[in-house]
């Protein structure tokens, strides 16, 4: 992304004012990911939900009873408006929730003791990890699963 000199000065001024709180993050929109959460479904929406999200028609009645439920994960910022419009046009109510900075815990159901020790984990399965950033959780999960562990994302 290229900025003009004037544009860069504006960005620097805004940043100087906001960074003092240390609660502000400046992030390129391309890095933002969202989870789409299904809040309401039309009674006749089974086939539309299958077309939109790949949910089998046979699972629609059960899904309708457990709302709200995440229906899509890791949707890029640029794709959110189109996805929300598609769901809305089919009669669904869906909310986009920023998930880029969400913390994730893992439930380690089984794992070789030597793998846990090598990764600095002292608990014995089954156990839940402390919440961590999503990229870190994905990396830990991949390392554990590569060693034969059974791991799921904590609800």
What pLDDT sits at residue 7?
67
Q: What is the pLDDT of residue 134?
A: 81
pTM, to two decimals: 0.64
CATH placement of domain 29-98: 3.30.1390.10
At 7, give phi and psi (nearest 5°): -60, -40
Alpha-carbon span 80 to 36, nearest angstrom: 8
Per-domain residue ranges of the chain: 29-98, 103-153
Q: What is the pLDDT of residue 107?
A: 94
pLDDT score, position 2: 54
**Interacting residues of 80 by C-beta distance below 8 A, sequence separation 6+:** 34, 36, 96
Shortest CA distance to 106 belongs to which of 68, 138, 147, 60?
138
Of 78, 72, 75, 74, nearest to 28 by C-alpha is 78
Report d(CA 66, CA 111) in Å as an integer: 31
**Per-residue pLDDT in tens (0 to 9) along the chain, 155 residues:** 455 666 677 777 777 776 656 666 677 888 889 999 999 999 999 999 999 999 999 999 999 999 999 999 889 999 999 999 999 999 999 999 998 888 889 999 999 999 999 999 999 999 999 999 888 898 999 999 999 999 998 87
pLDDT at 78: 95
């Amino acid at each position: 992304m290229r900025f003009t000199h004037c544009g860069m000065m504006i960005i620097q001024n805004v940043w100087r004012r906001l960074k003092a709180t240390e609660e502000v993050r400046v992030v390129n929109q391309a890095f933002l990911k969202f989870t789409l959460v299904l809040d309401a479904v039309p009674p006749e929406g089974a086939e539309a939900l299958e077309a939109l999200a790949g949910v089998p028609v046979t699972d629609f009645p059960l899904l309708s009873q457990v709302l709200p439920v995440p229906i899509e994960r890791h949707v890029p910022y640029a794709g959110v408006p189109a996805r929300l419009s598609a769901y809305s046009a089919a009669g669904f109510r869906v909310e986009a929730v920023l998930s880029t900075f969400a913390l994730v815990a893992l439930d380690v159901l089984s794992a070789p003791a030597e793998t846990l020790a090598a990764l600095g984990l002292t608990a014995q399965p089954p156990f839940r990890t402390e919440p961590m950033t999503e990229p870190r959780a994905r990396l830990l999960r991949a390392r554990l699963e590569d060693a034969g562990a059974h791991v799921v994302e904590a609800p």
